[in-house]
Structure 1
Amino acid sequence: MINLPNCLTPSETARGMADNFKALRLQAGFKRSTLARKAGVSEASLKRFETTGMVSLQNLLLLALAVDRLSEFSDLFALAPASTLAELRAQTAAKIPKRGRR
């Protein structure tokens, strides 16, 4: 079965992130207890993340900081850059609403 990145479910994405994180931790030579202490999260939270993919956003960001990957989150929900001058003008002129309508 071919899994394209944009065809993954949220659960599959979380599980893949957890697998990647565990591999990164092991490559860096950290035990769970050591990395949990460095990140300021409980060892149980780290274990739950690595085994199920479930973690709070706060703990995920703390873990990312502990392995020097926090910067990868800064562009997660960034607006797409303008590719033409007309798009750039439209983006700068457009007023971003403070709340949704629906």
Structure 2
Amino acid sequence: MSLISPSKAQQKLAENVRNRRLSMELTQEGLAERSGVPLATLRNFEQKGSISLESFLKLLMVVGGLEETINVLKPSKPNFTSIDEVLKGTNSTTRKRGRKK
């Protein structure tokens, strides 16, 4: 569980993309053109942090960080506390869906 709010995370992501854009010496217009994201969408993102996932990924393709973002979301391997858990885990099938609540 994280202590950062979704809106704060959005602002931080927008700030990081903006900093990458500036370090590449790109204007907002230049990044919008290269990424295919409308300029108004990019401006809104940098000011408020609001953007669609598709547009965000397009921006990351230009400023970098797309591969890292994909890799950070990979599921982690399970940690075993005993040999019994290891043996039990090799024979069972992995669930492909979440549980119903």
Q: Secondary structure at the match of 1:17?
A: helix
Answer whether contact 1:14 1:54 (CA < 8 A) is retained.
Answer: yes
Partner of 1:3: none
Segments of structure 1 that go 5 or more residues without pairing to the other structure are: 1-5
CA distance in 2, matches of 1:10, 1:88: 39
**How many angstroms does 1:75 deviate by?**
2.4
How far apart are 1:65 and its partner, in Å?
A: 0.4
Q: What's the secondary structure of 2:78's corresponding residue?
A: coil
Matches within 5 A, 1:23-102: 23-84=19-80, 86-87=85-86, 90=89, 93-98=92-97, 100-102=99-101
Task: Find the residue that maps to 1:74 and give its secondary structure.
Answer: helix
Query: Counterparts of 1:88 and 1:12 in 2: how far apart (Å)?
Result: 43
Task: Output the TM-score relative to the length of structure 1.
Answer: 0.80
Q: State the superposition RMSD in angstroms.
A: 2.3
Identity of aligned residues (%): 24
TM-score, normalised by the number of residues in structure 2: 0.81
